[in-house]
Amino acid sequence: MLDPELLERITARRAELYDLEAQLVEQLAKVRSERDELAIAERVLERVSGEIAGDRASISPVSGQVAGRAVMLVPHRGPEIQEAVLPPGYQRILTVVRQAGGPVTARQ
């Protein structure tokens, strides 16, 4: 004959294991769902980054109107943008600042 106390402990442990299994199943489903979402986000990011890189490569200085005069707008700043794409006036400013060797006072 089996010990009733031992049977009770086995039954209690079995119930604990079923509860743990249910929690793990739920957690696994959440992890898989998040993993799938990250994969989608990664694909979207790659696609958008490619489109942005293509757009930036085709950016050239654009003329605009200020106070009725045509002016050259400054292109968007980025690591791949070279000083040569800046309008000549801005390039002269950079040259003066570089040659100064220290702080430069600006005036209007």
User: In which residue ranges of the chain is pLDDT below 70?
Assistant: 55-64, 72-76, 108
Domain ranges of the chain: 1-59, 72-100
Q: Hey, which bits of 1-108 come out as E strands?
A: 63-66, 69-72
pTM tops 0.95: no
* Residue 91 identity: Q
Q: What is the mean pLDDT of the chain?
A: 84
- 53-60: long-range pairs with CB below 8 Å, 24+: 56/80, 60/85
